Amino acid sequence: MTAAWTDQMGVAACGFAFLLCCLYLAAHRPIIFVSFLFIIVTLIWRTCAMMFIDLAGPVYSSQTLLYVGPGTVTSVHVLAYFVTLTPFFLFLQPSTVLAWTDSSDERLAPPDVLTLSDLTVLVSTLFLAWLFVDLIRNGTIPLLSHMERFVYTDEYAGSAHRWLIAYGNFLTFWWGMMFAAERLRNRRLDIRYLGLLAVLVLYMLLTGNRFSAFYSFGSFFLMPLSAVLAVTAGPASKEPFGYLRGFLGRREVIVLGTTAVLLIGAAVLGILNNLTKVRGYEGAEIKAHIVERVLVQPAELGWLSYQRVFEFGQWEPYRVFDFLFQSPIDPNKNTTPQYLMLTTIGEPRTHEHLSEGFQFAGGFPEIFFELFGPIMAWPFLAAAGFIAAGLTALMIKGMIQGRYASTFLATYVLYGFYVMYIGGMLNFVTVSTYWIKVVALLMALLLEVRLARSGLPLLPWALFPARRIRFWIRNA
C-alpha cells in the first residue's frame, strides 16, 4: 500500500464524511440545514471541488496558469467546515427550539384589515413593475442581445436594477419572512410570494444572470421557513426526512416543487446562454469550461494557499493584516481575494483583473490560515462559527415569536459572515455601517422585549382597517 494511495483514501474519507454530515442535517436536523442553506451549499461545492483537485490532480488552472493537486488539502478544509457547523448543534438544540415554539406568536389579523404581508405584496409588485418598465425603456435585453450581466448593470441599467443587485438577497428574505409568517399565523400557503419570486426569476434571466442570482435569491427566500419547520414539524426528526409529512401537504409539494424546478431551469438556461451565446464556446470547450468552473476555480486558491502555509511555512501575518485592513489594492471591495490573487499570480495580472472588475473565487478558510497561521487559525474559525450560529438562532427565534425587526436585522448583520464564508471577506468589520447594523439589531431586541411585555410588536402584523383605506380611496 503506497503513501499516495493512503493519502487518496484519507481525502475521500474526509470528503464523504462531510457530505454525509450535510445529508444528516437535511434528513434529521432540517432547521440547521434550511436556516444555513446558503452557506452549506457553498461548503458542499467547495468540498467536492477540493476533492477533485486532490484526487484527480495535477489539474491545470487557466486562471492561475498553474497545475494544482494532488494533495490532502480536503482534510484541512473539511475540519474547518466541521468547526464552523458545530456551534449550530449547540445553539439549535431541540430542547431550545421547543422552548421558542411554546412562546410562538399565533395572533391573527382581524378580518378586513391590511396586514404587513399585504403591504409588502403591494410595494413589491410596484417595484417589479418598475424593473420591467426600465428594462423595456432601455431597449436592451441582455438575454436576447447576448450581453454579460455586469455590462448591463454598469452601462444600461437604471437605479431600480442597481438597487436589486445590491439588496436583492434582503428583498427575497423579507418575502420569505412574510411567506413563513402567513404559514405560521394563518396556516395557509401564500402563493402571492411565490408569484413575486417567479417574476423576479424571469427578470433576472432576461438581464443575463446565471447560477449565483437564482441560488442566492432562492436560498434567502427559504431561510425563514426554518421557523415553520420548527413549529409544524419539530426541531429534529428520528425518521429520515420524516418532518416533511408534517410540513408539506399535497398542495405545498406541487407549488414548492414547481418553484424549485423554475429556479433550477432558469439557472441552467442562464448558464448555457452565457457559455454558448455570450462567450461563444462550442462542443468540447463547453464541457471543459464547466468542469473547470465547477471543480477547479472554487478551490484553486485554497489549494495553493494550503501549499504555501502548511507545506512551505510561508505565512506572514503582519503583511497579510496590513494588506487586508490597511493597504489593499481596492479598499472598497473584498480584500481577501485580492491578497490571494497577488500572492498566486503576481501584481501585474492581479491589477489587470481587478481593474476589469474580476476576482477569483474562494477565500475561506484559507485566509484564516494566511492571517493567523496553521495553529492559531482554529480558535478564530470557531469564534466566527459561534457568532454565525448565534445570529441564526436569533433569526429563527424572532421569526417564531413574530419579532420581524430583529429577525431581519439579525440576518442583515449575519450577512457579513455570509460574505466571509463565500469569499473569505474579513474587512467587512472595518466598515462603519456594519456596526450601525449591529447597534440597530441591539436596539430592536431591547425594544421588542419591552413591547412584548405589553403585547405590542415593533412591526405590527395588522396595519390599518381595509374598510378605512377603501373609504380614503373613494373620497380621494
What pLDDT shows up at residue 327? 92
- Whether 370 contacts 389, CB under 8 Å: no
Task: Give the residues across from 66 on adjacent strands.
Answer: 61
pLDDT at 294: 87
State the DSSP string of 259-318: HHHHHHHHHHHHHHHIIIIIS---THHHHHHHHHHHHTTTTHHHHHHHIIIIIS----HH
pLDDT at 468: 58
- From the number of C-beta atoms within 10 Å of its C-beta (0-12, 13-18, 19+), residue 307 rates as middle
The CB density around residue 237, as the number of other CB atoms within 10 Å, is: 19
Lowest mean pLDDT across 51-60, 239-248, 312-321 = 239-248
Classified as helix, coil or strand, 237 is coil
pLDDT reported for residue 1:
54
Q: Return the beta strands (E) in 112-264 as ranges.
A: 113-115
CA 33 to the chain's CA centroid: 12
Whether the predicted pLDDT of 412 surpasses 90? yes
Other residues' Cβ atoms within 10 Å of the Cβ of residue 268: 13
Written as nine digits, the cell of 426 is: 474579513
Mean pLDDT to the nearest integer, 401-421: 96
Judged against a pLDDT cut of 80, whether residue 256 lies above it is answered with no
Q: What is the pLDDT of residues 94-129, one digit of tens each?
A: 999 989 988 777 777 777 788 899 999 999 999 999
Q: Does residue 469 surpass a pLDDT of 60?
A: no
pLDDT-derived band of residue 70, with 50, 70 and 90 as boundaries?
A: very high
Percent of the chain with pLDDT over 70: 96
Q: Can you give the pTM of this predicted structure?
A: 0.92
Identity of residue 342 = L
Using alpha carbons, select from 351, 421, 97, 121 the residue that is nearest to residue 227: 97
Cβ 67 vs Cβ 303: under 8 Å: no
Range 292-301 average pLDDT: 91
Return the closest-CA partner of residue 185 out of 97, 112, 110, 237: 110
CA distance 268 to 308: 36
422 has which bridge partners? Answer: none
Instruction: Report d(CA 99, CA 117) in Å as an integer.
Output: 26
Predicted local distance difference test score (pLDDT) of residue 473: 55
At 208 the pLDDT is: 84
Band (pLDDT 50/70/90 cuts) for residue 248 is low
- Across residues 338-362, what is the average pLDDT? 89
Assigned C-alpha cell, 423 = 469569499
The string of DSSP letters for 401-463 reads TT-HHHHHHHHHHHHHHHHHHHH---GGGG-HHHHHHHHHHHHHHHHHHHHHHTT--SS-SEE
409 touches 72 (CB < 8 A): no
Q: Are 161 and 128 in contact (CB under 8 A)?
A: no
Summarize the confidence of residues 167-193 as an average pLDDT: 92
